[in-house]
Amino acid sequence: MDDQVKEPKTPETESGEPTERQEDQLDKFKETTEKLWGSTRQAFNTATFKANQYKKLVQRKIDLSAVHKKIGATHAELGKLIDDLREAGKKSIMSQEVVKDILRRLDELKAEAAALEEEIEQIRTDESSQEVVPPAEKTE
């Protein structure tokens, strides 16, 4: 037997045009195909949306981790500076300009970390509540 699939012959009118039954079948086939492609497009859009959202979330977590490392290093720097100033016999350590600069830097880093944490939480809430809206169907 041949591996080729033979299509059954369908009756046509004498003029060679398809019958109403054939047109109905063709319309149903087109409708089914359009639905299939619509579902595929929607699934693809949903998948890419989720992937982009996950990418943003991971990047923000990496940024937050880097900021936390900077905060830890700045704490260590501040502690060492305060200890050095105390050993040098300095009075009013907290009023020293170098200490104030480090404290300002710490405040900035903490504000940056808080903003990143808020952004991460926003991405997470968007992930659970937002649905991808399929693009509008084209009308011809």
pLDDT tens-digit map of 27-68: 898 999 999 999 999 999 999 988 999 999 999 999 999 999
Flag whether the pTM goes above 0.75. no
CA distance 48 to 67: 29
Q: What is the mean pLDDT of residues 120-132?
A: 77
Structure tokens at 139: 């009308």
User: What are the tens digits of pLDDT across the range 75-117?
Assistant: 999 999 999 999 999 889 999 999 999 999 999 999 999 999 9
Going from the C-alpha of 66 to that of each of 60, 69, 130, the distances in angstroms are: 10, 5, 29
What is the DSSP code string of 28-90? HHHHHHHHHHHHHHHHHHHHHHHHHHHHHHHHHHHHHHHHHHHHHHHHHHHHHHHHHHHHTT-
